[in-house]
Amino acid sequence: MSIINEPQHNAQSTQLASGNRFALVSLTSLFFMWGFITCLNDILIPYLKGTFDLSYTQAMLIQFCFFGAYFIVSLPAGALVGKIGYKKGIVAGLTISSIGCLLFYPAAQLHIYALFLFALFVLASGITLLQVSANPYVSVLGPSKTASSRLTMTQAFNSLGTTVAPFFGAWLIFSGMDSGVEGTSAQAEVIGASAVQMPYFLIAFTLLVLAVIFSFLKLPDLGKSDDSQTTPKKSWQYRHLKLGAIGIFLYVGAEVAIGSFLINFLNDPNIAGLSESEAAKFIAYYWGGAMVGRFIGALVMQKVSAGKVLGFNACIAMLLIVIAVMFDGALAMWSILGVGLFNSIMFPTIFSLAINNLGDATSHGSGVLCLAIVGGAIVPLIQGVLADSIGVQLSFILPIVCYLYIGYYGLKGCKPVLNSSPSLKSN
C-alpha cells in the first residue's frame, strides 16, 4: 500500500512545488506595482508643495494620508483576507487601488489639495489590502526557514518599481514645470493638472488589467482561517510580533521620510544645488540601491541568519545618515543615497521574522504588521515639523533613532515568543 501511495505523494508534492513557483512569479508583478506607486509620492510632494505653496509640514500630509490608510484599513483587511483568502484579497486590492488612481483626474481638474489627499487615501487602502494578502502569501509558499530570503527576493521587484518611478515621474510630472512655458495662472493650473492626470490614469488602467488577470489565474487557495479558532487578539500574544510591529513602524517611517525629503535635500545649494527634475532622477539611486541590496540579501540570508543581517544593515544606515547630517556637498549627497542599499532587506526581513511561528494567526499577524506601516504617515510628518524649525539637513536626525531600534530587533527582539506559552521562545 505504501508503494502505491508514495508515487502519488511525490506527484502531489511536485505539482504543489510547481504551483508555488508559478504563484511566486505572478506575485512579483504586484510588488513591482505598489513599489512604483509608493515612490511616485516622492515626486508628488515637491510638485504639490510648489503648486499649492505648502510648508514642509503641510506637504507631508501626502504621506500622512497615504500611509494613514494602513492604520485604518489593515486590521479589517486582515480579517477580510482570513475569510476570502489571499487570491481574492489581491483582486480586491488591485480594484480599489485603480479607483484611487482614477480619482486623481477630478482632483487635478478641480485643483483642490484635499481631493488629492482623499485620492491618495483610497489608493493606499487598496495597496494595504494587497500588502496583507501578498506578503504572507509569499512567506507560506515554501519552507519557513527560507521565508525571509523568499520575501526579500520578491521585494527586490518592489524596489525595481521604486527605481523606475522617479524617471517616469520626473519626465511626466516635472516636464511642464521645467519647460519654461509662460501664461496665466489658470493656464499653469491646466498644465499641472494634465501632468498629474496622465501618469495616474495609466497606472489605473494597468491595475485593472492585473485585477482581471489575477482573477483568472490558478493559484494555491491559501489564507483562509477558521474565525472560531483564530481572532485578532491571538496574534497580539506573540512578543516578537509586537516588537516587529514597532520595527515596521519605525523602518517604514524612516525610509519614507528620507525619500520624501531627498529632492529638497539635493536642491540645497550646500549639498548639490540640483533642480527639482534633476534631483527627482537621483531618487532612483536611493531606491535602486534597495533593489540591488535585496538581490544580494536574498543570497546572503541563505547562509547568514536574517536577524544578524538586519542588525548589520541598521548600523551601517545609521552611520551613513550621521555623515549626511555632519557634512555637505557630494559626501552628504551620496551618503544619504547610500542608505537605500542598506534599507534593502529591512522590510521583508522584519515582516517574515515577525510572523514566524504564528500558525493560524498569520493572516491577522500580517494585518497587525501592515497596521504598523502607519509609521510612513507619522515619522515624515514629524520630520516635516523638524525641517520647518531646524532645517532639512538636521531633520535627518530622526531616522537615526529609528534605525537604532531596528538594530535591536534584528539582534535580539526577533526571537519568537508566545507570551502565554514559553515553549515557543526559540526556533
Compute CA distances 206 → 38, 176, 200, 349, whole Å.
15, 24, 10, 29
The pLDDT tens digits of the residues spanning 194-203 come to 677 888 898 9
Least confident of 186-190, 207-211, 222-226: 186-190
| 165 in Cβ contact with 203 (< 8 Å) | no
Quote the CA–CA distance of 44 and 47 in Å, as a whole number: 5
Alpha-carbon torsion (5, 8, 12, 17), positive or negative: positive
Supply the DSSP symbol for 225. -
Nearest CA-CA partner of 29 in 141, 142, 134, 169? 134
> Which residue did the predictor score with more confidence, 95 or 223?
95
Return the top range by mean pLDDT from 17-31, 343-357, 377-391. 377-391
- Confidence label for 15 from pLDDT (cuts 50, 70 and 90): very low
Least confident of 73-87, 360-374, 410-424: 410-424
Report the predicted TM-score, pTM, of the whole model to 2 decimal places. 0.77
- The one-letter amino acid code at 354 reads A
Q: What is the pLDDT of residue 394?
A: 96
Quote the CA–CA distance of 368 and 12 in Å, as a whole number: 33
Q: What is the pLDDT of residue 225?
A: 60
| 167 in Cβ contact with 288 (< 8 Å) | no
Supply the DSSP symbol for 238. B
- Confidence label for 280 from pLDDT (cuts 50, 70 and 90): confident
Q: What is the 3-state secondary structure (H, E, C) of 104-158?
A: HHHHHHHCCHHHHHHHHHHHHHHHHHHHHHHHHHHHHCCCHHHHHHHHHHHHHHH
Nearest CA-CA partner of 190 in 71, 288, 110, 92? 110
Quote the CA–CA distance of 272 and 270 in Å, as a whole number: 6
Q: What is the pLDDT of residue 205?
A: 94
% of the chain beyond a pLDDT of 70: 80
What is the chain's mean pLDDT, rounded? 81
3-class SS of residue 374: helix
Q: Where are the beta strands (DSSP E) in 153-305?
A: none
Which residue bears the cell 485643483? Answer: 111
| 27 in Cβ contact with 94 (< 8 Å) | no
Q: What is the pLDDT of residue 301?
A: 84
Residue 252 has pLDDT above 80, yes or no: yes
| 248 in Cβ contact with 376 (< 8 Å) | no
Q: What is the pLDDT of residue 214?
A: 82
> Which residue did the predictor score with more confidence, 427 or 373?
373
> Which residue did the predictor score with more confidence, 91 or 138?
91
Work out the angle at residue 31's Cα, subtended by the Cα atoms of residues 265 and 103, and round it to the nearest 5 degrees.
Answer: 75
The pLDDT tens digits of the residues spanning 19-66 come to 567 777 777 888 888 888 988 888 888 888 888 888 999 999 999 999
Region 197-215 average pLDDT: 88
Residue 86 has pLDDT above 70, yes or no: yes
Region 320-338 average pLDDT: 96
Compute CA distances 416 → 38, 150, 185, 333, 373, whole Å.
30, 19, 58, 38, 21
Quote the CA–CA distance of 151 and 135 in Å, as a whole number: 7
Region 135-161 average pLDDT: 72
| 158 in Cβ contact with 31 (< 8 Å) | yes
The set of cell numbers assigned to 316 is 551601517
- The one-letter amino acid code at 182 reads E
Region 177-188 average pLDDT: 47
Q: What is the pLDDT of residue 182?
A: 46
